[in-house]
């Protein structure tokens, strides 16, 4: 592992629905950031990204995002990823429509 490698997750957008999704350890996709596979090895990160990019019938725009380990699993580091994890800014759609205290 490279000394400069920061832990990552694989994220993308669902091809049909457009939702932000995260690659889990078992190879499924989840809409919850905390379900993402927390990757600490640079070689594994490259393999998992390749796995995601090969799923062109399901996802678009797969990339590696920096993450930290939080109390419930991987948590975003950068504000962009934090924003993406919360869903659209229009409260009547996506993840935010399911929240009652928004």
**DSSP character for 39?**
B
Q: Is the pTM of this model over 0.75?
A: yes
Checking phi first, is residue 73 left (phi over 0); if not, alpha (psi -120 to 50) or beta? left
Q: What is the per-residue pLDDT across 35-65, written as a single tens digit (0 to 9) for each?
A: 999 999 999 999 999 999 999 999 999 999 9
Strand 8-14 and strand 29-30: pairing? unpaired
pLDDT level of residue 79 (50, 70, 90 thresholds): confident
What percent of the chain is predicted at pLDDT more than 90? 68
Q: In sequence order, what are the residues at sequence separation of 6 or more whose Cβ sits closer than 8 angstroms to the Cβ of residue 47?
A: none
Assess whether pLDDT exceeds 50 at residue 32: yes
What percent of the chain is predicted at pLDDT more than 70? 82
Q: Give dist(CA 28, CA 36) in Å, integer.
A: 9
């Amino acid at each position: 592992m490279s000394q400069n490698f920061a832990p990552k997750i694989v994220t993308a957008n669902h091809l049909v629905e457009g939702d932000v999704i995260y690659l889990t350890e078992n190879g499924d996709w989840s809409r919850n950031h905390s379900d993402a596979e927390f990757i600490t090895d640079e070689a594994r990160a490259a393999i998992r990204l390749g796995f995601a990019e090969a799923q062109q019938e399901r996802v678009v725009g797969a990339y590696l995002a920096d993450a930290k380990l939080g109390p419930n699993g991987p948590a975003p580091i950068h504000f962009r990823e934090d924003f993406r994890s919360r869903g659209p800014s229009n409260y009547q759609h996506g993840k935010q429509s399911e929240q009652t205290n928004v």
